[in-house]
Amino acid sequence: MLDTLKFFLFVVLLLITIILNQNVTSKKSGERDLSQFWKLENANGTLKMENLTLPSGVYTALEQGLIIESILDFKNDLTTKWIAHDNWTYSLDLPCDLEELNFTNVLLTLHGVDTFAEVYLGDVLIGRTNNMFVRYRFNVKAKLKYECKHSLRLRLVIRSPVAVALSMSAGYQHRKIVPECPPKVYNGECHVNLIRKMQASFAWDWGLSAPSMGIWKPVRLEFYNSVKIRDITFALSDEATHWSVLVGVYLEAGTSSRKLNGTLTFKLLGVEIPADEQIIAVEETTNSFGELLVEHNLTIARKDVSLWWPNGYGRQALYNLYVKWEDSQVNNIRVHNRDTLISEKVTRVGFRTVNLSQERTSDGLMFYFIVNDIPMFMKGSNWIPSSVLPESSYDENYVKFLLYAARDANMNMLRVWGGGVYESDYFYQLADELGILIWHDMMFACSTYPASDAFLVNVAIEVHQNVRRIQHHPSVALWATNNENEVALRQNWYGTRFEEDAYVADYKQLYVNVIQPEILKVDKWRKVLISSPSNGDHSIEEDYFAKNPQDPRYGDVHYYNYVMDGWNPIIYKGGRFISEYGFQSFPALTSWPIRDLDMDELSDLIEHRQHSPLRNGPILQMIEENLPMPAKNSSTYWRDIIYLSQVSQAMIVKTETEVYRSKRIEQGTMGALYWQLNDVWIAPSWSSIEYGGKFKILHYWMKAIFAQRHVVAYINPMKMLDIYLIRDNLGPNETWSVEIKLQRWDKFMPVDLLSYNPVNVSKNTVIKLVDSFDIYGLMKRKNLDAKEHLLLIDVYRNDKRFAENFVFLDKIKQATQLANVSLDLNIASVVCKTASNIVQVSIEVTVDAPAVFVYLELTPENSALKQCQFSKNGFLQFKPIQTVHMQCVDMGCKTKIQSSDITVLTINELMFN
């Protein structure tokens, strides 16, 4: 018996390895991957490429074929506009395989075509695609069997999405679907809201216009005699002694109605399932598309599984759920190849509860997530596609880099924004592993949309397929049907007020009557918000069209302020949950093509890529408000402005985030997701990580801003000092001690020291240290000038400092006592690990007086080093020597790092220029 069990586990683990590694499968598993040897040509045949590999897109293929420069370089978003106005054909010579043709079902499955394609097998049109988010299946057995002698050409004729969108707009002259075009500064294309395509591909305020076309997901030939398990859903009910699990198995049996007779077997590897729940009989008929949902309940003892926790609260325990279909004919002695009647799938699942609590208060409703019975403050950012070209957006290495960067910055939630794409399976798997909860929009953003029957049917299929695919991941916390479309209507962003009733009716038809029910068909266990921002459950009372969708007493809020001083904490009024906020900065100077451009050309390129209708005004205004402003005719103008913009962005987002974290106890604020984590090109934007992976100063700071144990301090509207101690984790009570140092800008030693010790801090809480402290009164009594001083705050536990922060008592540009610092760098050690190609460098930063916002950057000559990150950056240095660590990927460990390879900027330097 023991040997049998070992053999069974060996077979199952082998199956898991094959499935998780997504290797090309054999005929036994019923699938042939058609990813190689594709050809591409334009409509008149003047441009041709061969030997393309999927995923593929026209822009990427043309760049790889050296026909165009990268669309991401210089102003190539303009010079390549012709590409999206042409039609393109992908073709593949499909070899015949008689063994495959003996199967009952032979299906061509297109997992993702971007976007409008006519699909031909030989000369026969077998179908069309019109939604890049939908999987299409075509029964090709008859065509292959009767016409394929040696090979048959598969062709996808892809039409210009720009032309299709324009032609569709003619059907909406009675009431336009607005906005018809993006603002002129976007250099974009029109009518993207009429088509089911990544909405940002026609340009956004942070991204270029790249109306992509191509095959951005796999194409496979599937063959089987019985059924294929396509998706598995997983829903939990938390009982006192056990988990009640409802598993949904989505079966596909060709493309037409068919009677099924067989069994499903369920195994949760390493976990006991009652014997009578392990196998069920299935005798049902599929729908007209050959699909069938089978639901089955499992009972899992609580003691047999560990909980899955978000980042910072515990481990991310995951389990492999194995499901097998066996057709009833499998036991027929005349069946020679029983494997053709079997389908197997493994899905990783986690055990946790996630609830969105909206209990009533005296003035509104709360809005916060409770995970495993623990109320949690959600800390994180907004995720846009990792590439503007969909075929590149599933790059696993880059997705991994970005998600690890989010995890390491102490984030526990990301919001997948509604103008991008439903992300790859790998994205959600990694979010599961890293403990990053996902607030998930459907792919509708910042627009009105049609409510025609054809559009609604198309959307229903899209939503159903993608929710089905994603639902089982424990990281998914919430669905929202759109981004900012309710507030756009209410605030008349696009001039809809003259026909408001009609536009609102279309809005409700799409989101309330179609998308929400379609989500709930698949996933009844997660909350569905109709929009973001919205008033949460209060929206139902307002018939889903609130008088103020940004009401801070309900739901979530998007907050941007480009008029008032973002460094000043009193401008942030908060809300229950702030799901978008942020401020722009410029990418690092070395990220721009500075070797190829003079400063005037660089200025022109930056202006070209600044898509905000407000242009660079808010960035420059905030610099001028708080920091020393360089002269426009300075030879280092852009070097200095870029640095100052990143300092200003970091200060604004830091101030806003810390106010929100502190307001947990005063306003019930329970979430802060800043806009945005990542970028799609080198351009002015709100991101904390540049395209390619370089951290801005903001991202370096986020690790402390979102730390599980943190101290927040700021001057309140009454000109008093408020200090909050924040602890976002579990465990026994802790004893902290706090030191507040009144510091001159030019001295290492403090002028005065205030201590609070001991302070008892319980788990998962925010406490106000003392009643508001009159710091300016103290300074007045000591005859001290606020503009010459700041506060440094340190927090200790067991005599070890674990948190620090600072408070400016006046604007930095008024800090007349800043010293003209002498700063030296010394490379203390360099270690390169040849096995991993990781080089680790220790850098000693030495100053003779305090230095403000010390910023380190590798020179462009070190381009061989990749993914370089410092342990800290943009920091205050109030001690003579500071050690900073740098880590890079150095292929072959060939680079010799010297201190001259690192440049330094400080506010001190700019004050004395």
Q: Which amino acid is at 264?
A: L
Question: 71 φ, ψ to 5°?
Answer: -65, -15
The count of C-alpha atoms lying within 13 angstroms of the C-alpha of 798, restricted to the half-sphere facing its C-beta, is 1
What's the rounded Cα separation, in Å, for the pair 782 and 771?
21
The full DSSP string for 174-200 is SS--S-SS--GGG---S-GGGSBS-GG
Q: Rounded distance, CA 703 to CA 901, Å?
A: 26
Please give the Cα distance from 366 to 272 (Å, whole number). Answer: 39
Q: What is the largest CA-CA distance in the chain?
A: 100
Check if the beta carbon of residue 506 is closer than 8 Å to that of residue 451. yes
Separation of alpha carbons 65 and 52, rounded Å = 10
Beta bridge partners of 259: 285
> Residues 6 or more apart from 636 whose CB is under 8 A from it?
630, 913
**Look-up of token digits 């990781």:** 838
Residue 560: partners with Cβ closer than 8 Å, 6 or more residues away: 580, 581, 582, 583
Residue positions annotated with a catalytic role: 484, 580
* Residue 358 DSSP SS3: coil
**Residue 66 burial (CB count, 10 A):** 7
DSSP state at residue 445: B
- Joined together, the tokens standing for residue 296 give 């089955």
- 831: tokens are 């270690």
Q: Helix axis angle, 500-510 relative to 453-470, nearest 10°?
A: 40
Q: Tokens 């978003």: give the residue.
A: 77
3-state secondary structure of 46: coil
Contact 468, 476 (CB under 8 A): no
Q: How far apart are the first and last CA of the chain?
A: 82
> Assign residue 749 a region: left if phi > 0, alpha if psi is -120 to 50, beta otherwise?
beta
Residue given tokens 């907050």 in the structure block: 559
CB atoms within 10 A of CB 130: 17
Backbone angles phi, psi at 201, to 5 degrees: -75, -15
Backbone angles phi, psi at 898, to 5 degrees: -125, 165
Cβ–Cβ contacts within 10 Å for residue 790, how many?
Answer: 22
Q: Which two tokens stand for residue 95?
A: 């070899």
Give CA–CA dist 590/643, Å, rounded.
11
Exposed/middle/buried for 275, CB within 10 Å: 0-12, 13-18, 19+?
Answer: exposed
